[in-house]
Chains A and B, each alone.
Chain A
Amino acid sequence: MNKTRFRWDFWSGITLLSIAVFALFLIYPLFSLFLSAFQDPTTGSWSMANFAHFFERKYYYQSMINSFSVTTCVTLLACIIGTALAYFMTLYRIHGRSIVEICIVISLLSPPFIGAYSWILIGGRNGYITRFLAQYGIDFPSIYGFAGILLVLTLKLYPFIYLYVAGAMKNIDSALIEAAESLGCSGMRKVVTVILPLILPTLLAGALMVFMNAMADFGTPMLIGEGFNVMPVMIYSEFINEVGDQANFAAAMAAIMVLITSTIFMLQKYVVNRKSFTMSSLRPMQTGAMHGVKNVILHASIYFLVALSMIPQLVVIYTSFLNTSGSIFVDGYSLDSYRTIFESLGTAISNTYLFSTTAMLIIIFLGMTIAYLTTRKKSWLTEIIDTLSMFPYIIPGSVLGITLLLAFNEEPLLLSGTAIIIIISLVIRRLPYTLRSSSAILYQLSPSMEEASISLGASPLRTFFKITAVMMLPGVMSGAIISWITAINELSSSIILFTGATKTMSVAIYTEVIRASYGTAAALSTILTLTTITAMVLFFKISGRRDVTL
């Protein structure tokens, strides 16, 4: 009688605003991309020619096979390493646990391509180890191609699995384990029949994140892939290829890629929904100690793994202080590289902070209000918003970049080349982190808190800002910092959207590496890494936690 009547208030405004944002900057660009994928580049008529072109030439479809094989291998390897690490870190006493954990998070949040670039410095054709071994006539195996991508991406992405699975392990009530033991189940059997099934839904969620990240990664294969072409690189090079009108063909490839990622996404959702259950542990499992040789091996393996993941950061920091001469490092240390970047790339640094901070402010506002809409004001409209907000998970950065560029290249929506378009892409891509953490904390807040405020005479809007928002803030901020960290490290969409005036640090590092100015690249990377670490320390302070959930 009166519930269904439409009331024009703040929340209906926010509902329309968020739908408008998603429609304008996500749906419309994506839709125009798909349309152009079905258009013949020369005649403009509808055709499947672009797709036929892709599947006819091995050069093209091989990239799809490559992407798929390397992504699958990375996902499997990351799952094995991450799960094993989480298992041992949860159940056994590890010396220096907190340092290990912090290193793991740092390697996860560092710029993606820094790994590739440092491994080239270490094991590339002119790398430290390669040269060192060459003195003794030993050939170091090539780090380029499939193996290199696998190494770099696995080391970068296993922390996802670790964080997810370690979280799930903490939620396993020790009573479950004791129940299994009381029934005569122990050792490996216990792991396989009780622990693994309990963490499986979480493991699958982590695996999806790894798969999506590995599939969409642009920087790593671009730097270290060499002849081993993968789809994001192929899309990028076809798109920026000025010869002929390749936009339609790139669009077709992007469409194929989105099709693959969304299929994987649905498949994972389907499996997880059938297997999902909730756990909350009253008494988490106790950590025990391992003894003797086993203990030494355990510690050695964990330290080795962490060292391996930290090497890229350390190499970068070290080389940033080396003297350079052209593209090669020479003896002696100085701050020359830093001097150079502040002279010639100062705007890239200020751009990075400006863009990502602006994006973060927008993300905080949208994240809080959309989270409130989708958890407290459920309706078919907010249901749509909830679904739309998941889209960025399945759209690779380079694809999003292309769609935005294609959609906003003409009057009246001429945004290409502006800072606005980069900020928009950051907001769309990084909103989910803040949104998820905001919804998570909202689910923990009892609605009666809001009702109490309303019953005392505060209007719903006032209640939101005075009570709900204040209590949401810790959750929102911890998500916002993750959004910000991933925004300053963003490469795959910015590389397509930037122009001279809107260059960011990530883009600058990439172009410096391509130009073989390793010194300046290292200095920029160091600044980025230190910023990331500072932000993370802030994150741990604000959230009062010792781990990150994504």
Chain B
Amino acid sequence: MSVAIHIDNVIKRYGNLTIIPGLTEEVHNGEFFTLLGPSGCGKTTLLRMIAGFNSIESGEIRFNDQCINDLPAHRRNIGMVFQSYAIFPHLTVRENVEYGLKLRKIPRDEMKKKTDRILDVVQITEYQDRLPERLSGGQQQRVALARAIVIHPSVLLMDEPLSNLDAKLRIEMRSAIREVQKQVGITTIYVTHDQEEALSISDRIAVMKKGEIQQTARPHTIYTRPYNVFVATFIGHSNLFRGRITRTGSSAAVVFNDGWTLPMQGLSSEAADGQEVIIAVRPEEFSIQPAGQGITCQVHSQVFLGKYINYGLTFPSEMLVEGQAAIEYSQDLGHAEQILSVGDTVTLRPNPAKINVFSADGSHSLMEGVVRNE
């Protein structure tokens, strides 16, 4: 039986160090939920608290209505897939998969049926009598997945399961995992630091930083309507400009620091006339315009990527939020009428329907309808 998971104001401390300062989240029944964040953000810590390998200093985690804080890990009925796979090296593939079933005293013929079926689902039937050391990384990964799923856990927990695989296998396994999860319908929590992986595999993503969830939303929302500047820059690339709001009557606009004004719709009512803001423009949200119809900059580098050309841009520093590694414009080669070269001066217009506006401290979005938790 799959469950919904309620995480209620949980705190994790190691000595004086607080890793998670109080975190609340809901994971729906049957959902593929991803914890995404830079290393050290506490995502694995949270996962291991749910699994029962880390203690919970304060707060509560519930599976449906049952509080599991004091339930030892082996009685939580979880399936876990580890970064190192943790396949038992002294057992064959089949014995690894049967391990959890044996502990549940499943009758022999039923155990065989279940094992056969899951081996088939993850496509490792032909290796069932091998010892794990003779399997490739991808095959070991499939064994780990089968072993976790076959016991029909309430929750499937995955700790960066693909990080030890090569790029091609990673993409293949990604869809395999997604497929198997949908087929079995288990509530799944997946930890990764790879944003592409998270975007492609998840129903919802929670972006974490320093033990706090920055935003929880569907992949599309996370990318197009980030809740704050951290999410905007951590997921994909965002160029950050300084600017302010002007309002005349019912219409609103953002003014860049060079004085150019871009009329905008969809700003929230919180955005007041004259308010300082951060304007986040993704590299693909620019278009080349005649002089005077956008913001002007110089091209200082050009990288050809096949489908795209990436330009590195130079703006006057007072237009930008300080500390950005690069300001980029990526030009879709399919729609490029004019190829720029290094040294060119160019006028670019951000697409007002796509760009995001944040409060001046970057803490929250000023776009209508953008919430921290979707």
Residues in A lying within 8 Å of B, measured CB to CB? 1-3, 446, 448-449, 451-460, 462-463, 467, 470-471
Contact = CB atoms under 8 A, between A and B. Distances in A.
B103 interface: yes
A431 to B, nearest CB: 26
A449 B86 contact: yes
B interface secondary structure, majority: loop
A270 to B, nearest CB: 27
Contact of B100 (A448, A449, A457): A457
B79 A458 contact: no
B151 A467 contact: no
Interface residues of B, number: 35
A448 B88 contact: no
A2 B82 contact: no
Contacts of A456: 74, 79, 99-100, 103, 147-148, 151
A174 B285 CA distance: 52
A457 B75 contact: yes
B73 A448 contact: no
A456 B55 CA distance: 19
A1 B57 contact: yes
Interface in B51-105: 51-53, 55-58, 69-70, 72-80, 82-84, 86-90, 99-100, 103-104
Contact of B103 (A1, A446, A458, A470): A458
B359 to A, nearest CB: 36
13 contacts: A2-B56, A452-B80, A454-B73, A455-B74, A455-B148, A457-B74, A457-B75, A457-B104, A458-B99, A458-B100, A460-B74, A467-B88, A471-B88
A324 B53 CA distance: 69
Contact of A2 (B55, B103, B104): B55
A289 B79 CA distance: 56
A451 B148 CA distance: 12
Contacts of B77: 457
A455 B73 contact: yes
B147 A452 contact: yes
B84 A455 contact: no
The 4 closest A-B pairs by CB, nearest first: A456-B100, A455-B80, A3-B55, A452-B86
A470 B91 CA distance: 10
A440 B103 CA distance: 29
A454 B74 contact: yes
A449 B144 CA distance: 11
Contacts of A3: 55, 57
Contacts of A2: 55-56, 69-70
B123 to A, nearest CB: 21
Contacts of A463: 74
Contacts of A448: 82-84, 86
A1 B55 CA distance: 9
Contacts of A454: 52-53, 72-74
A446 B144 CA distance: 15
Contact of B74 (A458, A467, A470, A471): A458
Contacts of B55: 1-3
Nearest to A462: B103
Contacts of B72: 454, 459-460
A446 B86 contact: yes
Contacts, number: 77
Contact of B89 (A453, A462, A471): A471
A453 B90 CA distance: 13
B87 to A, nearest CB: 8
Nearest to B57: A1
Contact of B53 (A449, A451, A462, A470): A451
Nearest to A451: B53
A462 B73 CA distance: 13
A456 B79 CA distance: 6
B80 A451 contact: yes
A508 B43 CA distance: 65
Contacts of B157: 455
Contacts of B90: 470-471
B56 to A, nearest CB: 7
Contacts of B58: 1
- Max count, chain B CB within 10 A of own CB: residue among A448, A462, A463: A448
A467 B88 CA distance: 7
Contacts of B52: 454
Contacts of B99: 453, 456, 458
A446 B84 contact: yes
Nearest to B75: A457
Contact of B51 (A1, A455, A470, A471): A455
A458 B151 CA distance: 12
Nearest to A470: B90
A477 to B, nearest CB: 14
A2 B56 CA distance: 8
A451 B151 contact: no
A451 B147 CA distance: 13
- Max count, chain B CB within 10 A of own CB: residue among A3, A449, A455, A459: A455
B151 A453 contact: no
B11 to A, nearest CB: 9
Nearest to A5: B70
Contacts of B51: 451, 455
B151 to A, nearest CB: 6
A448 to B, nearest CB: 4
Contacts of B147: 452, 456
Interface in B18-74: 51-53, 55-58, 69-70, 72-74
Contacts of B57: 1, 3
Given A455-B79, A455-B157, 5 more contacts: A451-B73, A452-B82, A452-B86, A454-B52, A471-B89
B88 A453 contact: yes
A206 B137 CA distance: 39
Given A1-B58, A2-B55, A451 B103 contact: no
A460 B74 CA distance: 8
A455 B84 CA distance: 15
A200 B147 CA distance: 46
Nearest to B144: A452
A451 to B, nearest CB: 5
Contacts of A470: 90
A451 B86 contact: yes
B167 to A, nearest CB: 23
Nearest to A461: B74
A457 B148 CA distance: 11
Nearest to A473: B90
A310 B269 CA distance: 93
B146 to A, nearest CB: 12
A8 to B, nearest CB: 14
A459 to B, nearest CB: 5
A454 B151 CA distance: 13
Contacts of B53: 451, 454
Contacts of B83: 448
B16 to A, nearest CB: 15
Contacts of B75: 457
Contact of A451 (B56, B70, B82): B82
A53 to B, nearest CB: 52
Contacts of B74: 454-460, 463
- Max count, chain B CB within 10 A of own CB: residue among A453, A457, A467, A471: A457
A455 B103 contact: no
A451 B73 CA distance: 8
A305 B75 CA distance: 61
Nearest to B48: A451
A457 B103 CA distance: 7
Contacts of B84: 446, 448
Contacts of B87: 452
